[in-house]
A and B are shown apart, each in its own frame.
Chain A
């Protein structure tokens, strides 16, 4: 891998330079409610989908935080709120000491450089009419950090080779590449602006096992080489466990557990996490025969009308009466191990 020269960027003074191990981004009481509209001409909100409901966490520089949960639990919405692709209903997102919710579109421009995203679907996230070189070069053009076309081409070639692709691919179109190669293009594009923080939203979920491992290793290498911080959103628990330092589990818009990766997988404390882990089969027939398989009954309730109290209580094996009324706070039950359950 070749090393990349940092590009000169105009840094507004309000952003603090964060050292490794310090808090890079902090999410405080984030809420994102989507209105459910009725009517065609005169629309009014008849209800709200509580996609993210009072979620707080922080990510340290150089760390990878994994965010897991089933479809509809709000993990992607959390990512989109951080990217300011949604305007949160309430809460603060503090990145390098600046509250992103207080910035206007213009103020967000430097943020868009620092926070990048890698999407799930390598087919729909690349413009089919643009060449790979244009796709990777465009962010640099937009942000004016490499206005000279010759130098930009050079940088694109560099980024392609960092991501394990032949620099000649710059002249190709997305349809000429395989899924794994396209995902590498998506990664090269995210890197083109020398970001601090990358949100990987199901970045390896669409890939076959052997290709997935290649991309996982690439993400790990890039994290080391460029001091990156990741928010790794995925539903595949094995992948999240492998890549993340800490893991947060979400259920129906709430964060139910947060701990060091190995700690969470060895000693899950929240009944939902426990059920989730036991539902994932591990690739070893002998281990599988010995494992206890706890099958969770029922399905995830609608986020439009979530259960009262603890949102997990209708499916919870430990639920008691008080769970129906009291929303359990996320508490530190062991050092660094946070759980939102009154019964553990």
Chain B
């Protein structure tokens, strides 16, 4: 399949009183048409910033994309004028945010918000847009669409609001939807409803999805490919099966060992990752994970390991990923 999005060496930084925060520090990945890519990592690893950078939604100041290219259907989004990028936002690439209450406008009805977007990007008449809005609500599983269009966000529950967000994201037939923790604020049964809906729609409409999450279960269920981020860098990349069954970076190994497994019997002690994530203003010449890594060697202090292909399309950034299988066996 063709590459829809191709990110190369993206660097996004924030200037703060404490120094320059290298939130995204040289990441490269691509998304093919219609596929679901997950970006997984813990708070502060740069997963949201990397997604916001794609749509150039980084507030400047203090933030700035200092390097890299983001090619979307062959055009570098970083070279576009403000006017041109606005035509892409919401139309060809749209976004679903975590907090459905704060990402919908509280003083506009659901219908106004939907028709505004449709009229603006597709240039259709208001009647046409109204009809389309009703269809969209039906598509995301909201019944009684005509009544719902007149309602305001506060009339709706969290799950309903997230459905409206998805309808908004779909309204202009985008090629790519970026979902930033789309279900973190929702209960598990509602989370399942929303994720099934997104997956189903992306399959039916051929929309590619980037799901940003910290939930390893969500990634396992929905992602075709996985990018694991740590301290602003992608440390491992591969298919979901590769990353979960044969992790090649010690951080991925650590993450998987620290989640309790509901599908296995109790009694096994969790193996946490000791220590804390590093301060992103004080990254040095070595691997950012080495202080927490049980397998760190001298080389890790001296040089940052590059992201290298190890097996068929599985990449890891670790000096010892060649021995990872043996190290893992030894540890268990």
The reply to whether the CB of A139 lies closer than 8 angstroms to some CB of chain B is no
The reply to whether the CB of A3 lies closer than 8 angstroms to some CB of chain B is no
The reply to whether the CB of B256 lies closer than 8 angstroms to some CB of chain A is yes
Central interface residue in A265, A282, A285, by most chain B CB within 10 Å: A285
Central interface residue in A211, A275, A276, A284, by most chain B CB within 10 Å: A284
Contacts of B187 in A (CB 8 A): 70-71, 235, 300
A-binding segment of B60-68, B85-93, B96-104, B239-247: B239-247
Q: In the complex the two chains form, is B220's CB within 8 Å of A283's CB?
A: yes
Docked Cα-Cα span, A241 to B265, in Å, equals 9
Q: In the complex the two chains form, is A283's CB within 8 Å of B189's CB?
A: no
Which B residues between 68 and 119 are near A, CB-CB below 8 angstroms?
Answer: none
The reply to whether the CB of B215 lies closer than 8 angstroms to some CB of chain A is yes
B-binding segment of A44-52, A114-122, A167-175, A287-295: A287-295
Q: In the complex the two chains form, is A213's CB within 8 Å of B262's CB?
A: no
Contacts of A280 in B (CB 8 A): 188, 217, 262
Count residues of chain B with CB under 8 A from any CB of chain A.
47
Q: In the complex the two chains form, is B240's CB within 8 Å of A178's CB?
A: no
Which A residues between 193 and 238 are near B, CB-CB below 8 angstroms?
Answer: 208-214, 216-217, 220, 235, 237-238
Q: In the complex the two chains form, is A279's CB within 8 Å of B188's CB?
A: yes
The reply to whether the CB of A239 lies closer than 8 angstroms to some CB of chain B is yes
Q: In the complex the two chains form, is A210's CB within 8 Å of B245's CB?
A: no
Knowing A242-B260, A281-B217, A299-B159, the reply to whether A210 touches B273 (Cβ < 8 A) is yes
* Minimum CB–CB distance for A9 against chain B, Å: 32
A-binding segment of B27-35, B124-132, B173-181, B190-198: B190-198
The reply to whether the CB of A277 lies closer than 8 angstroms to some CB of chain B is yes
Q: In the complex the two chains form, is B270's CB within 8 Å of A283's CB?
A: no
Task: Report A59-83 CB contacts with B as 1/0, cut-off 8 Å.
Answer: 0000000000011000000000000
Knowing A237-B188, A293-B192, the reply to whether A282 touches B262 (Cβ < 8 A) is yes
Q: In the complex the two chains form, is A238's CB within 8 Å of B261's CB?
A: yes
Which B residues between 266 and 301 are near A, CB-CB below 8 angstroms?
Answer: 266, 269-274, 276-277
* Minimum CB–CB distance for A204 against chain B, Å: 10
Docked Cα-Cα span, A251 to B157, in Å, equals 18
The reply to whether the CB of B254 lies closer than 8 angstroms to some CB of chain A is yes
Contacts of B241 in A (CB 8 A): 285-286
The reply to whether the CB of A165 lies closer than 8 angstroms to some CB of chain B is no
The binding surface of chain A is classed by DSSP as helix
Count residues of chain A with CB under 8 A from any CB of chain B.
44
Knowing A217-B270, A299-B157, the reply to whether A282 touches B258 (Cβ < 8 A) is no
* Minimum CB–CB distance for B4 against chain A, Å: 22
The reply to whether the CB of A261 lies closer than 8 angstroms to some CB of chain B is yes
Q: In the complex the two chains form, is B217's CB within 8 Å of A282's CB?
A: yes
Task: Report B15-47 CB contacts with A as 1/0, cut-off 8 Å.
Answer: 000000000000000000000000000110000
Contacts of B244 in A (CB 8 A): 283-286
Docked Cα-Cα span, A241 to B262, in Å, equals 6
Contact of B255 among A210, A217, A284 (CB under 8 A): A210
Q: In the complex the two chains form, is A209's CB within 8 Å of B262's CB?
A: no
Q: In the complex the two chains form, is A282's CB within 8 Å of B270's CB?
A: no
The reply to whether the CB of A262 lies closer than 8 angstroms to some CB of chain B is yes
* Minimum CB–CB distance for A165 against chain B, Å: 12
Q: In the complex the two chains form, is A208's CB within 8 Å of B271's CB?
A: no
Docked Cα-Cα span, A293 to B258, in Å, equals 25
Docked Cα-Cα span, A58 to B76, in Å, equals 63
The reply to whether the CB of A296 lies closer than 8 angstroms to some CB of chain B is yes
Which B residues between 186 and 220 are near A, CB-CB below 8 angstroms?
Answer: 187-193, 196, 214-220
Q: In the complex the two chains form, is B214's CB within 8 Å of A213's CB?
A: no
Docked Cα-Cα span, A67 to B316, in Å, equals 39
Q: In the complex the two chains form, is A261's CB within 8 Å of B266's CB?
A: yes
Q: In the complex the two chains form, is B263's CB within 8 Å of A217's CB?
A: no
Q: Which residue of B lies closest to A279 (CB)?
A: B192
Contact of A283 among B193, B261, B271 (CB under 8 A): B261
The reply to whether the CB of B302 lies closer than 8 angstroms to some CB of chain A is no
Contacts of A91 in B (CB 8 A): none
Contacts of B147 in A (CB 8 A): none
The reply to whether the CB of A180 lies closer than 8 angstroms to some CB of chain B is yes
Q: In the complex the two chains form, is A209's CB within 8 Å of B259's CB?
A: yes
Contact of A281 among B215, B255, B265 (CB under 8 A): B215
Docked Cα-Cα span, A235 to B192, in Å, equals 14
Contacts of B274 in A (CB 8 A): 214
Q: In the complex the two chains form, is B263's CB within 8 Å of A276's CB?
A: no
Contact of A295 among B192, B218, B259, B272 (CB under 8 A): B192
Q: In the complex the two chains form, is A299's CB within 8 Å of B190's CB?
A: yes
Contact of A220 among B157, B196, B269 (CB under 8 A): B269
Contact of A209 among B159, B214, B261, B263 (CB under 8 A): B214
Contacts of B261 in A (CB 8 A): 238, 242, 282-284
Q: Which residue of B lies closest to A278 (CB)?
A: B192
The reply to whether the CB of B221 lies closer than 8 angstroms to some CB of chain A is yes
6 residue pairs A–B, Cβ–Cβ below 8 Å: A180-B276, A209-B258, A213-B271, A261-B266, A280-B217, A283-B217
Given contacts A216-B260, A285-B240, 9 further A-B pairs with CB under 8 A are A70-B190, A209-B255, A212-B258, A238-B259, A277-B262, A278-B192, A288-B217, A288-B221, A296-B192
A residues touching B (Cβ–Cβ < 8 Å)? Answer: 70-71, 178, 180, 208-214, 216-217, 220, 235, 237-239, 241-243, 261-262, 265, 275-288, 293, 295-297, 299-300
B residues touching A (Cβ–Cβ < 8 Å)? Answer: 42-43, 157, 159-160, 187-193, 196, 214-223, 240-241, 244-245, 254-263, 265-266, 269-274, 276-277
Closest 10 CB pairs of A and B: A281-B217, A213-B272, A213-B258, A242-B260, A210-B273, A279-B192, A283-B216, A208-B42, A70-B187, A281-B221
